[in-house]
Every structure is written in C-alpha cells, then in structure tokens.
Structure 1
Amino acid sequence: MTAEAGKSSLFRQRNFLLLWSSQSMSLFGTQLTYVALPLTAVVILHASPLQTGILGALTTLPFLLFGLGVGALLDRHRRRPVLIAADAVRAVALAWIPIAYALDMLSISQLFAVAFVVGTMSVLFDLAYQSYLPTVVGRPRLMEANAKVQVSESMAEVAGPGAAGALIGLLSAPLVIAADAVTYVLSSVAVLGLPADDSPAGDQGRTDATPSLWTSIREGIDVVRHHPVLRWCTAAAVLANLFESALLAVFFLFLVRDLGFGSTEVGLVVAVGGAGAVVGALFVERLTRLLGAGPMLVAAMALPGVGYLILGSVHGASAWTVGVAATANFVALFGLPIFNVTVISFRQVVTPDRLLGRVNATVRTFAWSALSVGSLIGGALGSTLGLRGTVLLSACGGFLASLLLFFSPLRGVRRLDEDEAAKAEADADSAHLTDTEELSESMGGPR
C-alpha cells in the first residue's frame, strides 16, 4: 500500500491537489469550531456537563441514524455533487451561530440544532470523500494520499486550536465559528474544479433487478463482518471511540473548571496534541514497515490511555501543569493517525468500488455511533463522578481497544498486503459476487 518508487509527487497531480486543498481548508476551519463551539456552550451559555455531552453526541449521532443508508445510496450515485452540497449546507448552518449571537438570541438548543445539521452533512461528505478518493489517485497510491490528508488534518489540529484560543480571546467564540463557515465555502469551490465522476459500477449495473436498499446495506455489513482484518479493526475503533468521546465530553470543562486554564492555555494544549498527530502521520509508513502493521496498530491504540492518564493526574494552573497537560495530549493523539491511515487505506484497497460506499458507511456507522454513546456517557459520568473521575475512568477504558487487537490474529501480522485486494477486486468485477461468504473468501486476509 505504499507509493511505487519513481512516481511523481501527488501534489503535482491537479485533481489530488484540488481535493487535498479542499480538505485542508475545511479541516482548519473545523478545528476552530472544535474549540469555539464547546467554549460557546461553556463560557457564554453556561452549559452543564450533561449539555456539553449532548452537544458532542449530536455531532456524531447522524452516523448512527443515516450512515448505512447514505453508504448504500453513494454506491448508486455520483459522489462529487454530494461533496459540494455537504460543504454548502455546513457553511450556512455554522454561519447562523454568529448571526444569532449578534442578535442576542443564541441558545443552547440552537447549538444543538447546528451540531446535528453539521454532523449530518459530515456523514455525507466523509463517506463520499472516502469513496471518491480512489478514483482521483488510484488504489496503488492510497496509503500515500491518505497520509498526506492525515498530515493536513494533524497540522490543522496544531494551528487551528491555537489560532482559535487567540481569536476567542480577542473576539468571541461565536465569531470565530464564522471563519469555519468561510472555509467550507472555499472547500466547495475547490471541489467544483474537480472532474465530474460517474456513478459506481454497482447495483444498477447488474442484469437482475436492482436490490432493495436494505439488501444493499446488508451486503456492506456482511463484508465487514466476514473480513478477518476489517472485523477486528472495526471492533477496536468502536471501543476506542466510546471511551475517547466520553473523555472529550468533559475535556474542555476539565481544563477550564478543574485546572483553571484560560482560552489561550486550552488552545495550546489542543495544539500540542495536534502536533503529536502530525508526527504520527508523518512517520506512519516508516513505523509500520519497521514494527509491522499488527504490532504498530496495537501500540497505537494503547497511547491514548497513557496520555489521558497523565492528563488526569494534573492539578492546578501553572506553566508546569500546562506543559504536562500539553505533553499528555501529544502522547494521546500520536497513535491515532497511525491507526487511521493504515486501516482506512487498507479498507479502500481491498473493497471493490461498487461496495466502497457501503463498506465505508458500515465501519463509520459503528465507529462513530460509539462517539455519540460515549459523549452521553461522559456527560452523565461528569455529573456523578466529577470531571477528573471521568477523565481517569475513560483513560483506563481506552486500553481495551489495544487489548482487543493484542489478543486478535492481527498481533502477528507484519503487513496488510494489497495483492489479495487486487484479487478481490478482479473477482468481484468479473462475477459481481452476491454471496457474502464467497465475497469474504475472495477478499482474503493478511498474509
């Protein structure tokens, strides 16, 4: 899954450059909102721990409600128009927050509504993007392309929160959210420059009647359920997201109320965590080759628990505690891009194009649904155990994802090979497999 030697940089390919630019702009803006939205709830609207948990849950709940259906529909329709429409709607929804704030009519219920709309559009965009990327760069270069996008995301996590903290101090959190709306407008303009794509050679290309939506959804679920790598990685992602989102539900409250950090210190902590993600994204291919894919995935899933245990031990506001909290966030986020780039690239490689929307949707639905559940759990725990207790308990729970991979067959896997992926795609294209057991066998597992 690595780029072939001698190939020119993907940045010299116009279509990838446009798609990467689109993602990079919106990712930077998203990081502004990542800090500004909860701080709007906490500082301006005086939200409770339960309300911040609900706010986080509403951002990811649409994956549970709509993810599987969206994935099936994306395997029947073009993906580029979906990318453009999703960006446009997100821009309009986020623009309402500064408008309502200026009119002195902003409420927590409006934040809930905006979070849900933006989350719904993120379902459409993320699934369409992951299904559209292979047509832009080709499957042999997906690891390289995903790594570059992950670096952009991680760099946005460095620059965005720091900029958000400074801007919130100068202006206000709702006005900073307006900048995110602008980035979504710019992102949609960049996607407009990409070539129109064709509908996937999927269900409507068959000679028999087009199957029902539920039949198409079930086929995507069965692919993940029977594939020996996708099954274990999806289960690990569910556990990791469950406990991480429980912690993130009280993360800003913990920094502001328990530790006494201001917006500048909060931005610094989040930015240093983003630097950890940048380093992880930059070295994902080297570390995977050095340690092996399986051992690297096990280690990557253990790091968030280590980092957040350190964070939970911090007391008081001082230069030292800010440094420790920032270092803890660095450790916690270092392994996430390693897991994401490796697993997403493998999933895109092994899945035939006619199934890619559904397989992406299945994994995202289960993994992101755990984010919604975890946010609600975190909000409830914050109201009962306290903020520090929630951080420590969530950190301990995060180790379960690493333990799951450690006791799975993935522990001894050195590489996730693309040879089986090519075989799977050829088999699927020639036979249009419908039997899920046969499809599972053709897709194969790691060597």
Structure 2
Amino acid sequence: MTEPSETSSLFRHREFLLLWSSQSMSVFGAQLTYVAIPLTAVMILHATPMQSGILGALTTLPFLLFGLGVGAMLDRRARRPVLIGADVVRALALAWIPLAHVLDILTITQLFVVAFVVGTMSVFFDLAYQSYLPTLIPRARLMQANSKMQVSESMAEVAGPGAAGALIGLLGAPLVIAADAVSYLLSAVAVLKLPADATPTADQGQGKAPLSFWASIREGISVVRRHSVLRWCTTAAVLANLFESALLSVFFLFLVRDIGFGSTEIGLVVGFGGAGAVIGALLVERVTRLLGAGPALILAMLLPGVGCLLLGSVDADSSWALGLAATANFIALIGLPVFNVTVISFRQVVTPDHLLGRVNATVRTFAWSALSLGSLLGGVLGTSLGLRGTVLVSACGGFLAALLLLFSPLRALRRLEDAETVATDSEADRKPGASAEEKPEPVGEAR
C-alpha cells in the first residue's frame, strides 16, 4: 500500500480514499433510508403511531443486542470481508421494499424485518471500518483520517434528509430506497478494491489456550475498564449521550410550546446546528493541534453545556429569540465532532489490533445504551420539571462531563501517542510487586 507522507493529503492515499468513499456512500445512503422507510410506512402502509415507534426502535436495537458479540467476532477474523458482506446484505434487504411495492405485496411486517436487518448489518459495518482503518494508514495520521470521516458523516446528516425529502417528492419513497440499495452496492465495490487484511492474532503465551467467545467479550470490557484513557473517554461519552438524548426528547416540544416557533424557524435552528457539526468536524485537527488532544476533549464537552444553557434562556418567539436559539444549537453541536474524532483516534492508537473490535463494540454499546436511557430521562424530567427545566438540566449534564475530564489524566495529554504512556504506567502501577512475567500486557503495546 501507499505510505502517505506527513504533509501529503490523505486523499492521495489510495487505500484511505477507497475506505472514505465507501463510508461516505454508506452514511449518505443511511440518511436517505432514515427518511424514506418511515415515510413508506406512513404514506403507503398507513402505519399507526405504535408501528412507527417500533420501526424506529428496530434500527437501533441491534447494537444493544449484538454489539459486544460482533466486536468479539471481528477480533477473530479479517475485517474487509465483513465490510463487503454488510454492504451487500443491506443492499439486498433494501431492494426488497421497492420490489414488494411494485408487486403490491409490501406489508408493515416486511418493513420491520428490513429495518432490523439493515440495523444489524450497520453494526457489523460501523465496527469493522473503525477496526480496519488503523491497518491502512500510520497511527500518526489517524486523527486526520477520522476527522475526514466525521466531516462526511456530518455533511450527510445535514444534506441527507433534505435530499431525501426532495427525491421522495419527485420519485416516491420506494424508489429512493432503491437508490440507497445501489449506494450500498457501490460501497461494497469500493471496499473490494482495498487490500485484504489478515485475521488479528494475539500471543496467547506458551501452553495457553485461546479464549472462549464469552471470555473474549469479557476481555474487551476489561480493557476499557482498566485502561485509564479508555475508561475516562467512555464515561464522558455515556454521560454526554445521556443528557443529549434527554434534551433531544423534548427539543422540538420546547421550540414549539415554550418559545412558539413554527416549522420555518425550527428548520433554521436545526440547520444552524448541522452547520456547527460540519464546521466542528473540519476544525478537529486545528483545534487539537492548537490546544492538545486532552484539552480539546474538555472544550468539546463544555460547548454542549454552554449551548443548552443559552437555549434555556430563549424566552419568546421573535427575531432575537430565533437568532439566540440558532446560535445556541450551533454552539451545542460544534464540539461533538471534536469529541467523537478524538476519542475514536485515542481508541485506535492505544488498542492492539486483536482487541480493537471488542473495545469499539464495548464503548459503542455503553454509549448507545445511554441514548435509550436518556430518552426516558427526558420524559421524566419534562413531566416533573417542565420543558425548560429539562433543557437546563441537560446543560448541567454537559458541564458535568467536562468537569470529569478536567480531573482526569486526559487533561495533560497533548498528542494521541501520549495516551500509550498513560496506559503503560497505569498497568504497571496496578501490580507494583509483580515480576515482568506476571505483569499484564499493556494495552498500549504496538499492534
């Protein structure tokens, strides 16, 4: 493979360009499906509110059900075939919807099955590409690579729903889903051109048998628990997701009922937030280079709290209120890509290749569980404290996550590579009396 220089663009690195293309097509296609499948259910199959809720839950449920197991599986086999297989299965599942619609045999149950299959394959794809990327480029370029991936995802989240709405109005929801199926096939073709990767292997030591499947899952959880950087990053992510999800559960109700915004004003507020996410993704490298990786994480966690606090101060429907709400959403979302890119890069740097699938799965499972709990928390807070009170409590949650990181070892980390020193020192300190043979292998060992 081509080794990029420290100053050359990663887009001149063939392997990264192909993986970036695959991931970009996948995330943009997912945004089309995110809008098109629910509209198919509502406009064509006349789904009830309960059926719509079930359909939405089936897209995220697979991560909670299978995330840890998929992570363990990915540490036992090559990741490239998994990426290809996930894309092909998603394409075939989605292609069934327009076909069944043309044949006039489409049912809501079939939509349920397709949503669950696509969600399950997304678990495989997301974890596999995060584990595959460090095998393609030097670790010194991981921050840059992850920031480019995040830019694509943020831009897809901004442009995707609007493009889906326009295409659905022109072609109809089933044909838009067919276009998404094609995007997944194109993604699979891009991955097919990437170099094959070897099955990750771990040195089991003389006389030691390989770990069982369940023991492998427990090992991944143990790595996150024992490793100082991974533990603090995961704790902050769980806390941030918990309160972010609580906010999102009442966000639109607050804009409509407490402030009095209509659909046009809400669109502007959401659009400014999306622009903040894109700009944050573009600025990741510059911010981390200027402040250092650890301080950048703390700032990234602080900004959502500031944004929520500002949003909670918006009082009435007016031009001033609209500008303040849009600014608040911009501030709240600009730091999230910085956090996401940095913590993913930390994980990829400090985790050996044979543990990367399980570590990614462990972190993602905890983080997504917090999203589910946060939605319930938002409902409870909205009922007991009111909508504005929920927004302000969410601001406190953002400040709490930043405060935790401020008192963690992360505050002193300037570069990604510094996290390896923290890992080695913490592991050595954990058993100070152990001999060299008795000490556990440091998580930060070179892959």
Task: Report the Cα offset of residue 129 of structure 1.
Answer: 0.6
> Does the 8 Å CA contact 2:4/2:13 hold for their aligned counterparts?
no
| 1:311-390 mapped onto 2 (5 Å cutoff) | 311=311, 324-378=324-378
Determine the structure 1 residue equivalent to 2:408: 408
Cα 1:364–1:176 change in 2 (3 A) is same
Cα separation, partners in 2 of 1:38 and 1:66, compared to 1, 3 Å: same
Aligned residue for 2:81, secondary structure, equals helix
What does residue 278 of structure 2 align with?
A: 278
Aligned residue in 1 for 2:184: 184
Instruction: Give yes or no for the alignment of 1:288 onto 2:255.
Output: no
In 2 relative to 1, CA 260–283 (structure 1 residues): closer, same or farther, beyond 3 Å? closer
Residues 379-413 of structure 1, C-alpha deviations (whole Å, 9 max, x = no match): 67678877766555545434432232233332344
Normalising by structure 2, report the TM-score. Answer: 0.80
Q: How does 1:15-414 map to 2 (within 5 A)?
A: 15-36=15-36, 48=49, 55-96=55-96, 103=104, 107=108, 112-168=112-168, 170=170, 176-202=176-202, 208-249=208-249, 251=251, 261-262=262-263, 269-311=269-311, 324-378=324-378, 393-414=393-414
Deviation of 1:199 (Å) = 0.9
Deviation per CA, 1:349-379, whole angstroms, max 9, x where unpaired?
Answer: 1111111111111111211222233345556
| Structure 1 residue 132, shift from structure 2 partner | 0.7
3-state SS of paired residue (2:440): helix
Assess, with a 3 A threshold, how the Cα gap between structure 1 residues 139 and 238 changes in structure 2: closer, same or farther. Answer: same
How far apart are residue 242 of structure 1 and its match?
2.0
Moved more, 58-67 or 196-205: 196-205
> Which residue does 2:431 correspond to in 1?
none
Residue deviations 1:48-71, cap 9 Å, x none?
A: 5x8766555433332222111111
Label 1:394 to 1:347 Cα distance change in 2 as closer, same or farther (>3 A). same
C-alpha separation in 1, matches of 2:438 and 2:125: 27
RMSD: 4.0
Letter in 2 for 1:22: S
Over 3 Å counting, the alpha-carbon distance change for 1:405 and 1:253 in structure 2 is same
1:237 Cα offset (Å): 0.6
User: Percent of pairs identical after alignment?
Assistant: 73
Question: Matched residues in 2 for 1:321 and 1:91: separation?
Answer: 44
Specify whether residues 416 and 97 from structure 1 end up closer, same or farther in structure 2 by C-alpha distance, changes over 3 A only: same
- 2:90 counterpart letter in structure 1: R
Whether contact under 8 Å (1:164, 1:176) holds in the other structure is: yes
Query: For the residues of structure 2 that align with 1:42 and 1:389, how far apart are their CA atoms?
Result: 33
Amino acid at match of 1:58: L
In the alignment, is the contact (CA less than 8 A) between 1:61 and 1:369 conserved in 2?
no
Structure 1 residues 25 and 272 mapped into 2: Cα distance closer, same or farther (>3 Å)?
farther
Instruction: State the TM-score, normalized to the length of structure 1.
Output: 0.80
How far apart, in 1, do the equivalents of 2:398 and 2:438 lie?
Answer: 32
1:346 and 1:129 map into 2 onto residues whose CA distance is: 15
CA drift at 1:232? 0.5
- The answer as to whether partners of 1:57 and 1:373 remain within 8 angstroms in 2 is no
Distance 1:305 1:412, change over 3 A: same
Partner of 1:431: none
> How many Å separate the matches in 2 of 1:348 and 1:33?
29
**Aligned residue identity for 1:438:** P
Unaligned runs of 5+ in 2: 428-435
Q: Which has the larger radius of gyration?
A: 2
Instruction: Decide whether aligned partners of structure 1 residues 286 and 312 sit closer, same or farther in structure 2, where only a CA change above 3 A counts.
Output: same
> Structure 1 7/290 Cα, relative in aligned 2: closer, same or farther at 3 Å?
closer
CA spacing shift, 1:66–1:354, aligned 2, 3 Å: same
* Aligned counterparts of 2:40 and 2:207: Cα–Cα separation in 1: 54
C-alpha distance in structure 1 between counterparts of 2:52 and 2:250, whole Å = 7
Alpha carbons 2:27, 2:156 under 8 Å: kept = yes
